[in-house]
Structure 1
Amino acid sequence: MGYGQRAVDFIRTLRHPLSTRPGNAFPLDPWAERIIRQIYGPRHPNGSRVVKTAVLLVPRGNRKTTLTGAITLLHAKGPERRPGAQLVSVAVDKKQAKGVFKEVAGMIDGDYAFAPNVGNSAKTVDEARGAKIRDYVSKIVFPGGIEYEALASDAGTAQGRTPSLIIADEIHAWLKRDPRELWGAMRAGAAKVANSLTVVTTTAGAGQENLAFDVIDYARKVARGEIEDPATLPILFEAPRDADWKDEALWHAVNPGLAFGYPDLEGLRQMAREAEHKPSERSIFQRYHLNIWQDHSSDPFVEMAIYDQGDEPFDLADLEHEPCWLAVDLSSNSDLTVIVACWRDPDQDGGYIVHPWFFCPRDNLHRRAERDGVPYPLWAEEGFIEPTPGNVVDFRIVEDCIRDLCERFDVREIAFDPHLARVMMNTLRDDGYPAVEMRQGWVTMAPAIKELERAIIAGRFIHGGHPVLRWCFDNIAVETDKAGNKAFHKGKSRDRIDGAVAAAMAVARAATGEDTRSIYDSDERADGLLVW
């Protein structure tokens, strides 16, 4: 109905201070024009916009901030303006927010530069601009009571608004530990406004337990047709993980601006030459210039794409009569506590099946989610983690779970790191349960980690895609000694690797096949003498 065309026509009237085109005309290249038409063209019969959320995943250097500046002016001065509208852009921090703000202000000043000379007073300048630019608060006031403000993601004032336009810039780097609260508050405010629009512009991030991955993954599912949602427009310029990152044809496919001279092709070539010999530079190149989503750890234990091959579902009921080994990692205070059960895979030699039971303190669950940057409340709701009463994990509940597992499965051993576990081990032993020590030092854990690594790489490690366990594996940073022995440690102080440690312990005990139960604990007693 002409809405897409009128949006394009308005943007073509804008002037950008860095444009090399005649009269500093806005550089709306064909790929960007197509995006504008797809956002603003499709309409319902009443004229309201079909697209409510546009997710733009594009590598650095493709001028996405410039494009969102034009979109902002569409809603501030152009045909999408509505009296009294609140327009908000949220960036990583104050510096980044200022950059978005300057894009918008620069185009307003571009119009003013070509306006007739009407004087230099603040009032006449604002009149010529058609807006009041308040640089010190990153705010612009337009006629009709329309206000635009650029905010940092960690600003408390980002909440409590009812924006008709949200520009969410580089959400993979938003500073709040778990920015879902901010995201939810902004989206809830926008839902109160008719015909609101959210535009997400970002490069690839790292890890999967974060807001950015959730947003991008949802857009991917819409793009693939797995989810039917006409209100979400996925615009995803990303390369597959297994793509040849040195292929310049791939660079052009993923960077829509390259055909028009940006980003700089020679600069990309130099970065690629360095990345070929520097693994750390390679991950940076893949992430920021090819939008290949990275694993969370900078020094990963295994590639998470290989780990994810073991996400096939299985039924615990089918394993009730199979030999089972448990490993327990007890938390010192507010960390995760986990029990991991391991079975030898009956369908493949040298394979393992594992399943975890996680526990965390119930008090301040949302604050803990912000601290660790993961959705503890959602995991608890979906049954992937059990919150126990209080502000520390209740070991009595953990012990009851161990006893229940021993009743349900053919448990041969329960391996504990004796640190923090003495009381529980003694109690279980007194009641006839096969509790054993397995210290988490180099001598014990290096062979365990080696066996775990072998199973994962060989595709013989089935975990069912448990999200908390995956997060633990994704957090692992590896320390290797001169003999090639590996040890797990946290990449950051807030990362949790407890599930991965317990999985290594359980796999190691299952691999050795040790059974510490007394012969008198079984009904299947062998004939003959028992000598010791």
Structure 2
Amino acid sequence: MERTTMAPAFSATSGSEQIPDPFGYGERAVTFLRALKHPKSRLSGRAFQLDPWQETIVRRIYGPCHPDGTRIVRTVVLLLPRGNRKTSLCAALALLHTYGPERVDGGEVISAASDRKQARIAFEEARGIIDAVPALKQITNAQEYKNRLVNARRRTFYEAISCDAGTQHGRTPTFVLADELHAWKKRDLWDVLKSGLVKTPGSLLLIATTAGRGQENIAWEIVEDARKVARGAVRDPSILPILYEAGKDDDWRDEKVWHRVNPGLAHGYPDIEGLRQLAREGERRPGDREAFRQLNLNVWLDHSADPFVDMDVYDAGAAPVDLDALEGELCWLGVDLSSNGDLTCVVAAWRDGEDGYIVHPWFFCPQDNLRTRSERDGVPYPVWAERGFINPTPGNVVDFRAVEETIRDLCARFRVQEIAFDPHLARNMLNDLLEDGFPAVEMRQGWVTMAPAVKELERAIVGRRFTHGGHPVLRWNFENIAVHADAAGNRMFHKGKSRDRIDGAVACAMAVARASAGDAGSIYESDEWSPEMMVL
């Protein structure tokens, strides 16, 4: 993971003389911000506090220009932990484009957030600065019901909007602040604002966020792309990555790490004693520890606060899976059929050497309301369907006939030894397959069968003997796993939240367990098995 605090060419403590400013735009931006006041400032006259690390950021955005005077930076990705006065700096930059030298007469300056409450925070910050500066307050028409501040002289306005505010088509922004992008559940507003920015020459997009969870969201895509720019893997001078983040392997209790990723600590914010208190609580409570790592150290986490495995280790198995090359190999299928709202998944598993496995999933979901389901679960179902990672079936529930047809096709293609079903929803399909001579078996999802399956799957993943091809839906399912353990230390899969889907991971565990058993046969055929073993 990228651990630099800024793009390699500039550091948060570098002097302004290192930053090109041929037209003086960086200097004039800093001058404007220093002329502002803040109602909570402790400086003389309540002057706006612009500390050296913040000044460096401002100069880096506005100083470098092309020979014709147009600004080089068009997108800023600011990944900053909580408590480092991100909102104050971003609100001041929004006012720079509304009242200051970066304004465009008649232009739209927009801050966008995940919901109305978050949008109001940015608005109140900007309003507080305006009220503290009499010259700006005099020319401002504050439209509270719209979360809008209008520069009456120049017809430029600043407005705070939210993702749940309905359509925003027709916008022509000159500046957009995408606030706490990690909390955006869908990308509709993002797409509208991005397309609107290209209408105006010299527009600027500022993404300001703390770290989030999971990879199936727009924030992860943007931050990961910024990391590539920061380390030089992608060359795009229009993107400025400012990434204050700790690595996953960093000691979260080390105060040197805290200072490295919280630039405000050198100036008294966030409160160091408050961080120490959070860290002490994190040592006692795993959930608090993960929240501290995410929000105060900017470690991008997996979906689950108690993950099944480290997803970096899981990702080591992303080598491509060649299905054609596996047609002659013994194969085991695990099937997890869904209720109305879940995914249905069929996973095929092959042995890879003596102690490894290769798997490949086939996912199914209802075709109706695919976009609505995407917004509910916060993942791109339509994109996955378009790319063939999910098979949408007609109607508003999964068509089990399509699932059964896929299973029959897989049996015709591969040397399938067993098809393992949880009989809860699969009784009819299981009986139909048995009648036609297919090797269908029951594998109930209780502790006796699933705990050993989970253990074997974990052993393979941690041992880096598990190849999954990087299938994005399967990865998302593994991210969502919350592990429950019994008194004996046996572990089972559960959803982290009600909207999370783990169906692919469950089917994967079933397939791997049956592949591990190999020729040993089904547990239900064993002399050691009895119905009483299924009582939890």
Same fold per superposition (TM over 0.5): yes
Residue-by-residue CA offset, 1:252-296 (whole Å, 9 max, x unaligned): 111111111111122222222222222222111111111001111
Q: Does residue 292 of the first structure (1) align with residue 299 of the second (2)?
A: yes
Within 5 A, what are the aligned runs for 1:472-511? 472-511=477-516
Deviation at 1:58? 0.5
Moved more, 6-15 or 87-96: 87-96
Letter in 1 for 2:47: A
In the alignment, the residues of structure 1 paired with residue 179 and residue 403 of structure 2 have an alpha-carbon distance, to the nearest angstrom, of 42
- Of 463, 467, 475, 1:458 maps to 463
Is contact 1:434-1:516 (8 Å) kept?
no
Within 5 A, what are the aligned runs for 1:34-183? 34-112=56-134, 129-142=138-151, 143-156=153-166, 158-174=168-184, 178-183=185-190
Deviation at 1:318? 2.6
Q: Using structure 2 for the length normalisation, give the TM-score.
A: 0.89
Deviation at 1:78? 0.8
2:409 aligned residue: 404
Deviation at 1:516? 6.7
Q: Does residue 424 of the first structure (1) align with residue 460 of the second (2)?
A: no
Is contact 2:226-2:239 (8 Å) kept?
yes
Is contact 2:116-2:161 (8 Å) kept?
yes
Mark the structure with the bigger radius of gyration: 1
SS at match of 2:256: helix
SS at match of 1:133: strand
Deviation at 1:56? 0.3
Residue-by-residue CA offset, 1:477-498 (whole Å, 9 max, x unaligned): 1222222222222222211110
Residue-by-residue CA offset, 1:76-106 (whole Å, 9 max, x unaligned): 1111111111111122333332221122112
In the alignment, the residues of structure 2 paired with residue 389 and residue 266 of structure 1 have an alpha-carbon distance, to the nearest angstrom, of 57
Q: Using structure 1 for the length normalisation, give the TM-score.
A: 0.90
In the alignment, the residues of structure 1 paired with residue 381 and residue 262 of structure 2 have an alpha-carbon distance, to the nearest angstrom, of 36
In the alignment, the residues of structure 1 paired with residue 137 and residue 453 of structure 2 have an alpha-carbon distance, to the nearest angstrom, of 72
2:348 aligned residue: 341
Is contact 1:412-1:516 (8 Å) kept?
no
In the alignment, the residues of structure 2 paired with residue 421 and residue 8 of structure 1 have an alpha-carbon distance, to the nearest angstrom, of 66
In the alignment, the residues of structure 2 paired with residue 361 and residue 95 of structure 1 have an alpha-carbon distance, to the nearest angstrom, of 33
2:264 aligned residue: 257
SS at match of 1:156: coil
In the alignment, the residues of structure 2 paired with residue 193 and residue 432 of structure 1 have an alpha-carbon distance, to the nearest angstrom, of 66
What residue ranges of structure 1 are gaps of 5+ in the alignment? Answer: 116-126, 518-532
SS at match of 1:214: helix
Identity of paired residues, percent?
Answer: 62
SS at match of 1:276: helix
Within 5 A, what are the aligned runs for 1:201-240? 201-240=208-247
Residue-by-residue CA offset, 1:490-522 (whole Å, 9 max, x unaligned): 2222111100100010011011114779xxxxx
Residue-by-residue CA offset, 1:333-383 (whole Å, 9 max, x unaligned): 24211110111112xx31111111111122221111111110011111222
- Of 442, 451, 458, 1:437 maps to 442
- Aligned residue pairs total 499
Within 5 A, what are the aligned runs for 1:360-399? 360-399=365-404
Is contact 1:413-1:515 (8 Å) kept?
no
Deviation at 1:443? 2.0
| Superposition misfits of 4+ residues, deviation over 4 angstroms | 157-160
Q: Does residue 307 of the first structure (1) align with residue 329 of the second (2)?
A: no
1:119 aligned residue: none
Letter in 2 for 1:135: E
Please give the root-mean-square deviation of Cα atoms over the aligned residues, in Å.
1.9
Letter in 2 for 1:417: D
Deviation at 1:146? 0.8
